[in-house]
């Protein structure tokens, strides 16, 4: 399934929304109506190394990781910024800028179609403002755990 957007438009930064001033950013592209057939879409947890030291620490069961959730050809993640607006962003799957992709983990499937996933992500993004990011208590991994559980019934 494809999102109707220009190639390379998933820069990892929110796009300004014109319709509503209250929601300052539109972080998701328009969905292709031809791609909206119902069914079960796979959901993946994409894991990235945050630091090159992970290559050594990984085998000891340690590491510092970034994560994102991939569904319908888009990857969603959560990051910090200084504004009281959504910190959820979208990137090309397995290509989150600033991180080295490590692996993709199948989490399950969702029965939501692309339109419903987009609506769901927009609703969830209002609970993840950039200025509420906390390295220990509310980070990208907490976001992915929440989203995976709500989409598939499985926690990370």
Look at residue 11 in the predicted model and tell me its pLDDT: 43
What do you get for the CA distance between the two ends of the chain, in Å?
Answer: 24
| CATH topology classification for 41-152 | endopeptidase fold (from Nostoc punctiforme) (3.90.1720)
pLDDT digits 0-9 by tens, 78-130:
999 999 999 999 999 999 999 999 999 999 999 999 999 999 999 999 999 99
Interatomic CA distance for residues 88 and 130, integer angstroms: 8
The structure's pTM equals 0.75
Active site residues: 66, 140
**Helix, strand, or coil (residue 104):** strand
Cα separations (Å) of 124 from 74, 82, 100, 115, 135? 16, 19, 26, 14, 19
């Amino acid at each position: 399934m494809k999102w109707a957007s220009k190639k390379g438009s998933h820069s990892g930064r929110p796009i300004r929304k014109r319709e509503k001033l209250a929601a300052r950013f539109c972080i998701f592209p328009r969905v292709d109506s031809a791609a909206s057939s119902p069914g079960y879409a796979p959901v993946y947890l994409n894991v990235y190394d945050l630091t090159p030291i992970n290559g050594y620490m990984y085998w000891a069961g340690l590491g510092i990781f970034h994560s994102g959730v991939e569904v319908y050809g888009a990857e969603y993640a959560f990051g910090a910024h200084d504004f009281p607006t959504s910190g959820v962003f979208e990137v090309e799957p397995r290509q989150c800028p600033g991180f080295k992709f490590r692996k993709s983990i199948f989490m399950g499937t969702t029965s939501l179609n692309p339109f419903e996933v987009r609506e769901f992500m927009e609703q969830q993004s209002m609970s993840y403002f950039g200025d509420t990011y906390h390295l220990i208590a509310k980070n990208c991994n907490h976001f992915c755990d929440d989203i995976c559980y709500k989409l598939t019934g499985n926690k990370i």
